[in-house]
Amino acid sequence: MPFVGAVLTGGASRRMGSDKALLPIEGGPMAGVVAKALWAAGAATVVAVGGDGKGLQAAGLDWVPDEVPGEGPLGGVLSALGCLDDVPVVAVLACDLPAASPENVAAVVAVAADHVGVPAVAVPLQVGSEGGHQREWLHAAWTAESRAVLAAAWEAGERAPRRAGMGLHVVEVEVPEPGALADADRPEDLLGDTGSRGRGGPDR
């Protein structure tokens, strides 16, 4: 199933102290690590959404503007869905996933592909900071049909993907590498194994 890959690069990065998308890691920007995972999973195209367009393009990434900059990740998801053209699925990942896994991307895309034709999202599960499982909304695959539902939620004032997504058919996915879903919010999150990294909170 062809899909578009999108990396959300428009966040404020307050806790990191510098632009997370352009933070050097593995010889390139952290957003580039995420983009490589999307390419390796079979994306037909990969774009960075929002943030420092000049810096991201200079780093070799294709870039599109966030249609509603500064309004949170839901705006970035909607902007990514606007890049689909005739492709039925978009996988949207945050830029702060230094261990982003092609296998995890492929897992959510495969589930979303089974729901093309309906407003649906495939969301991976990871172990929460207090035990149990939580959904990682900024590592999800969305069907093209989900855009209208998310746009309606946006117009109603919603800004959190997890709440806007409640109007969709939500499919939880147990991915092969749940540790690779860990994000990096602070410099110390880039040290040690993925299991010690912080989470971005329930709205991610």
Find the CATH number of the domain harbouring 77.
3.90.550.10
For residue 193, name the pLDDT band (cuts at 50, 70, 90). Answer: very low
* CA proximity to 30, closest of 105, 97, 123, 104: 97
For residue 119, being part of any structural domain is answered with yes
User: Does 67 have pLDDT greater than 70?
Assistant: yes
pLDDT at 18: 63
pTM of this structure: 0.89
Domain membership of residue 204 (yes or no) is no
Domain count, the chain: 1
| Choice between 113 and 196, residue whose per-residue pLDDT is larger | 113
pLDDT score for 78: 97
Residue that has been written with the tokens 């952290």 in this structure: 30
Asked if residue 196 belongs to a domain, the reply is: no
Q: Would residue 84 count as lying in a domain? A: yes
Categorize the per-residue pLDDT at 189 as very low, low, confident or very high, splitting at 50, 70 and 90. low
* Domain span including residue 71: 3-189
CA 93 to CA 95: how far, in whole Å?
A: 6
Confidence of residue 12 (pLDDT cuts 50, 70, 90): low
Residues across the chain: 204
Question: What value does the mean pLDDT of the chain take?
Answer: 89
177 to each of 75, 142, 170, 187, how far by Cα in Å?
27, 20, 20, 23
Q: Is 133 part of a structural domain of the chain?
A: yes
Residue 200 lies in a domain: no
pLDDT band at 129 (very low <50, low <70, confident <90, very high): low
203 in a structural domain? no
